[in-house]
Amino acid sequence: MLDLLKGPVLTVQDFFILTGTAVRNIFRSPHYSDDIVLQMDAIGVGSMPIVVLTGFFSGAVMALQMSRALAQYGQVGRTGMIVAISLVRELGPDLTALMVAGRTSSGIASELGSMKVTEQIDAMRALGTDPIQKLVTPRLVAAAVMLPLLTIIADFVGIFAGWVISVFFLNVTTRQYWSSAWRALVWNDVAQGLVKPFVFAFVVALIGCFYGLRTTGGTQGVGRSTTQAMVTASVLIFVLTYFITQIFLYASSAQM
């Protein structure tokens, strides 16, 4: 029984060691700012199209679905509120993180995994660079900056899509839509909507790096790491979003 648990516990421990080292490296020289910019471009700008598309269609589908339920109470005018709250609090951060995880975590895992199996990571250490400093920390910093920004973009595009649906299909006026959307949002929502992507950035970047750097067993191993990274990152995003929501609910109820 103890032996069964040993593996997973050691893995989690290794992950936290990597997280600690990567975070500590932010404050230690040498800083590889070129790599940070490069990763920001790859993670942030590169993910823009898929984030805009998912944001748009999730906002549109929310407006369509919710309008049916709201129609039963004669409250179709409040579609804006439902779309805004569900996007800013939940769907925006989750879907953005999932899309970026699918794209970036797997990409990082396969890139670092290939470097591992071709001994490039060892070569890096042999030639005087710390792979965590050079490879992991820039990816973490880039993700932590870009993921909240991508989420904001997804939120706006989603709310905009909700407006398009409301005005053209649901006979809601522009004014009605935007004022209900605007009034629905309180600081707690916005805070929650920005804390989530920040936490997910750690998951997306570090899970990819973690599985990449652990790769063994040639090209087959790279494939395995890539899948593992993507699956683990996606599941963790769902688990963490639940706990963050709980914490915010608890905190806001404690205030009252």
Partner 1 sequence: MADPAPPILRFENVSVVFDDVTALSKVSFEARQGESRVILGEAGSGKTVLLKAALGLVKPTSGKVYVFGRDLTTMRERELFEIRSKIGMLFQESALFDSLTIEENVAYPLQNQKSISCPPDQVRPRVEEALKFVELGGTLAKFPSELSGGMRRRAAIARTVVTNPPLTLYDSPTAGLDPITAYTIMELLIKARDVAQTTTLLVTYRYQDGNLVANFRYNSEQGRLERAHNGDLGNPRTTFMALRQGSLIFEGDQHSLEASADPYVNKFVKKHS
| Chain positions contacting partner 1, by CB under 8 A | 114-115, 118-120, 122-130
Least separation in angstroms between residue 173's CB and partner 1 is: 53
Least separation in angstroms between residue 121's CB and partner 1 is: 9
Q: Report the C-alpha gap between 96 and 47 in whole angstroms.
A: 9
Least separation in angstroms between residue 2's CB and partner 1 is: 17
Nearer to partner 1, 225 or 241 (CB): 225
The separation between the first and the last C-alpha atoms of the chain, rounded to the nearest angstrom, is 46
- Those residues with Cβ within 8 angstroms of residue 35's Cβ, 6 or more apart along the chain or in another chain: 134, 135, 138
Nearer to partner 1, 135 or 153 (CB): 135
CA dihedral of 113, 213, 238, 183, whole degrees rounded to 10: -90
Is 136:235 a contact under the CB 8 Å cutoff?
A: no
* Omega before residue 93 within 30° of 0, cis: no
Least separation in angstroms between residue 6's CB and partner 1 is: 11
Nearer to partner 1, 14 or 119 (CB): 119
Count Cβ atoms within 10 A of the Cβ of residue 15 and give its class: 0-12 exposed, 13-18 middle, 19 or more buried.
middle
Nearer to partner 1, 120 or 245 (CB): 120
Token pair belonging to 104: 């970036």
Q: Report the C-alpha gap between 99 and 138 in whole angstroms.
A: 20
Nearer to partner 1, 65 or 118 (CB): 118
Least separation in angstroms between residue 124's CB and partner 1 is: 8
Is 144:39 a contact under the CB 8 Å cutoff?
A: no
Nearest to 65 by CA among 88, 82, 84, 53: 82
Nearer to partner 1, 33 or 174 (CB): 33
Least separation in angstroms between residue 216's CB and partner 1 is: 10
Least separation in angstroms between residue 52's CB and partner 1 is: 28
Nearer to partner 1, 74 or 128 (CB): 128
